[in-house]
Amino acid sequence: MTHINLVNPNELISRAAEELKNQKLVQPLEWSKFVKTGHHKERQPDSLDWWYARSAAILRTINNRGPVGTQKLRTKYGGKKNRGHKPEHAYKASGSIIRKILQQLEKSELIQKTEKGVHKGRILTPKGISFLDKLAVQINKETQKNKQIK
């Protein structure tokens, strides 16, 4: 049984982002410090480590949603754009960022391409599942220890 869905998602994503950075499983590209994460954003991310956080969030999404492709992830990470007096419209996130992160996660063997019936996309490999599960177990132990102390 995996513990991935039993822990706080924000905690899991931040811990996974740290591990991805420490183990050098993904690397931000040169242009990543200058870009917005989508057409709907007005500015680039404040955090310098946003590439790792997005990679960890994509890993968790792939775990939860099964075979997932770039277009579904673009929709998930998209948002509404403020267009002044005109009504807001929903726009998708940057496909290039998501595609590059997926390629890096594939290269580090955390995800792989697959087809399940009509669904094509990426799923977690056993290495990817154990990566997230180990972090979730650590978080779970820490929260249990904190509950006992109080």
What is residue 42's predicted lDDT score, i.e. its pLDDT? 82
Signed CA dihedral, 60, 61, 67, 70: sign only: negative
The full 3-state SS of 129-144, as one line of letters, equals: HHHHHHHHHHHHHHHH
Separation CA 55–CA 6 (nearest Å): 20
What is residue 13's predicted lDDT score, i.e. its pLDDT? 92
Q: Residue 102 belongs to a domain with what CATH number?
A: 1.10.10.10
Q: How many domains are contained in the chain? A: 1
Lowest mean pLDDT among 1-5, 41-45, 73-77, 110-114: 1-5
What is residue 1's predicted lDDT score, i.e. its pLDDT? 59
pTM: 0.89
Confidence of residue 142 (pLDDT cuts 50, 70, 90): confident
Per-residue pLDDT reduced to its tens digit, 15-38: 999 999 999 899 988 888 888 888
Domain that holds residue 96: 4-149
The better pLDDT of the pair 1, 38 is held by 38
Per-residue pLDDT reduced to its tens digit, 29-80: 888 888 888 888 888 888 888 999 999 999 999 999 889 999 999 999 999 9
Confidence of residue 146 (pLDDT cuts 50, 70, 90): confident
Confidence of residue 150 (pLDDT cuts 50, 70, 90): low
Determine the Cα angle at 115 with ends 111 and 119, to 5°. 105
